Amino acid sequence: MNPTSQPSKSPAPLWHGTLPFHRLTPSGALADVFLHGAHVTRFDPTGGHPLLFVSAKSAFEADKPIRGGVPVIFPWFGKSTLGQHGFVRTMPWTVKEFHCDPAGESEITLTITSDALTLAIWPHPFDLAFRIKASASLTMELTVHNAGREPFTFEEALHTYLAVSDVRQISIDGLQKTPYIDKVGGTRDMPGSPDPIRITAETDRVYLNTPATCTVHDPGWQRSVSVAKTGSQSTVVWNPWIDKAKAMPDFGNDEWPNMLCVESANVGPNAIQLDPDQRHTLGVEIALRPLVAR
């Protein structure tokens, strides 16, 4: 934050249907953050293509997750008898802090605390704080606090949907030689490849034990996008491709070429155990970079 900027009173929210959101307008960019799920749905550099993808079919409704942007995943990842990807992505969050510097950067911090509903589902007291800072890049920090008296283990992810010109033309650097779990058609442990990742079919991979920065090279839009992270040892790469896209009611049949998930996470064997009154922070920075010829 610019040292000359001061915390400001949270402005009245804007509305998308029945869901309130706040708009950050730093110099050179624009970001939208919904209180529903603490969900970042937009980060647009001025004069450029958006960095985040949101489906035109997404239901902006209080009891449903938003499809796209950056869903906050906690306290479990993936399918469960208790629901998909945890519960905080469909809960209302509260604005704790708001800073605005139109000449520099803007940021907002949202919080949520366990209650009777969450404790009935997952019996561990917690506090979450999600700090979003918009400037030339988009920076996000999810902090988990164990507010109980016993240790707990959790999974988490910032499930980032990147906008791309054509997923069949992009490549991903940063995960070369990294082993992964392939979840398409079952679950298989796979060795890492020495080559950049290219998307040629349905892709659902969990790369383990990696803190690496990923860079998505997009020749169609003449740009590269970096996803740098801290406090994360898993990276998920996902694209539904043709058939799965058609099976999702909140995803357009023809939208799959224009999105790619590069998710910073701690899942599976990289799940986090947190002692009482301890905190863990997962941080991500998404930024435009000059296109590197591949």
Residue type, 242: I
Name the pTM for this structure: 0.95
Among candidate residues 108, 85, 135, 105, the one with its CA nearest the CA of residue 38: 108
From the candidates 36, 39, 85, 159, which is the catalytic residue? 159
Name the token pair of 57.
């079919």
The residue written with tokens 């510097």 in the block is 101
Is pLDDT of 4 > 70? no
Look at residue 56 and give its three-state secondary structure: coil
- Each residue's pLDDT tens digit, 223-234: 999 999 999 999
Give residue 293's pLDDT.
63
Specify the DSSP element, H or E, that contains 147: none
Name the token pair of 173.
């650097």
CATH dotted code for 14-289: 2.70.98.10
99 is catalytic: no
Is pLDDT of 288 > 50? yes
Among candidate residues 184, 191, 287, the one with its CA nearest the CA of residue 237: 184
159 is catalytic: yes
pLDDT band, residue 263 (cuts 50/70/90) = very high
* In the chain, % of residues over pLDDT 70: 96
Do residues 225 and 203 make contact, with C-beta atoms less than 8 angstroms apart?
A: no
- Each residue's pLDDT tens digit, 265-284: 999 999 999 999 999 999 99
**Integer Cα distance of 92 and 179 in angstroms:** 37
Give me the mean pLDDT over the 195-201 stretch. 98
From the candidates 105, 155, 255, 263, which is the catalytic residue? 263
Residue type, 38: A
**Integer Cα distance of 96 and 52 in angstroms:** 24
Is pLDDT of 204 > 90? yes
- Each residue's pLDDT tens digit, 16-71: 989 999 999 998 899 999 999 999 999 998 778 999 999 999 989 999 999 999 99
